[in-house]
Amino acid sequence: MVIETKRLILREMTEADFDALYKVLSDTNIMQHYPYTFDEARVRDWIHRNMERYRQLGFGLWAVCLKGSGEMIGDCGLTMQMINGQIRPEIGYHIRADYQRNGYATEAAIAVRDWTFANTPFCVIYSYMKHTNTPSMKTAMAYGCKLVDEYEDEINEITKVFAVDRKEIDIK
């Protein structure tokens, strides 16, 4: 599975992506809104869980790579997540710090959104995050989401839920 955008290639992760993904998920600034920063074991598990998702579901978080060089700068994709007591399709994204604020997360999320609506039966896609994660909220809104829910939980204190409906998007 490969998705191409103007500047990016999204592809399935492999074990060879460990070093690049470790730079993202072990960065305390990037992961400040996540329950923990990843160590080596968690990064390896992350890759293996996504490889299993590809086999079972046909999707997961994909490696986000620069089109020109092939360098992996993060991940973005579709996973099934427990959101306020219901399992829902969710677009998640993590971009390496030195590539943030260049629109890569939004570009990748739009590509995943369009792929999801074209290749799955899901009519609504979600993104959820800790209430303090303003950059993630901005990315969710940039790919078409609106705030649809907010709830208290033990991990995030308050979780904000954004969603976009298939009917709101003109897929080309």
Query: What are 94-117's pLDDT values in tens digits?
Result: 999 999 999 999 999 999 999 999
pTM greater than the 0.75 cutoff? yes
pLDDT at 171: 63
Of 114, 37, 109, 44, residue with least CA distance to 76: 109
Domains, the chain, in order of start with CATH, read: 2-168 (3.40.630.30)
pLDDT for position 172: 53
Distances (CA, A) of 98 to 77, 83, 123, 125, 164: 20, 30, 34, 28, 28
Q: What percent of the chain has pLDDT over 90?
A: 87
Q: Which of 170, 172, 164 is nearest to 78 (CA)?
A: 164
CA–CA dist 165, 156 (Å, integer): 25
- Asked whether the predicted pLDDT for residue 32 surpasses 60, the reply is yes
Q: 170 pLDDT exceeds 80?
A: no
- Range of weakest confidence among 102-106, 133-137, 151-155, 161-165: 151-155
Structure tokens at 59: 């999707």
User: Quick one: which of 158, 24, 159, 12 has its CA closest to 88?
Assistant: 159
